Amino acid sequence: MDHIAAAEEQIATERFRRKLNEVTTAAETQLSGVQDHVNFTLQQAYFRCAYECFDRRRTQDEINNCVENCSVPVLKAQNLVETEMAKFQVKLPSFLFYFRLNYINRL
């Protein structure tokens, strides 16, 4: 009987791993558009903004401040994506544990 229980546990664990991989892949797919926007659209806007900061009439400090201000939207967006992803990663194991327990209880 113990061999059967161990085999069922192993099957459940393997199914659990596959589901975890599916969830991870789905999350990455869903977030790829957001990451694309941050990496390309906002970065492009940053470089345009920074380019406009370089003006011979400005002092080096003014140029530095201008370029620093250009980076704020990109940094905010990156931080938001990272924060939300971290929240998701923290919650995911508890959700998966819950579903795994329910799955094992059905065996």
Count of H helices and E strands in the chain?
4, 0
pTM of the predicted protein model = 0.59
- Please state the domain count of the chain: 1
Q: How far is 77 from 65, CA to CA, in rounded Å?
A: 20
Q: Give residue 80's domain range.
A: 2-106
The candidate with the shortest Cα–Cα distance to 38, out of 7, 5, 82, is 82
Q: How far is 8 from 47, CA to CA, in rounded Å?
A: 56
The model's pLDDT over 38-90, given as tens digits with 9 standing for 90+, comes to 778 888 999 999 999 999 999 999 999 999 999 999 899 889 888 988 888 88
CA 8 to chain centre: 33
Q: How far is 75 from 65, CA to CA, in rounded Å?
A: 15
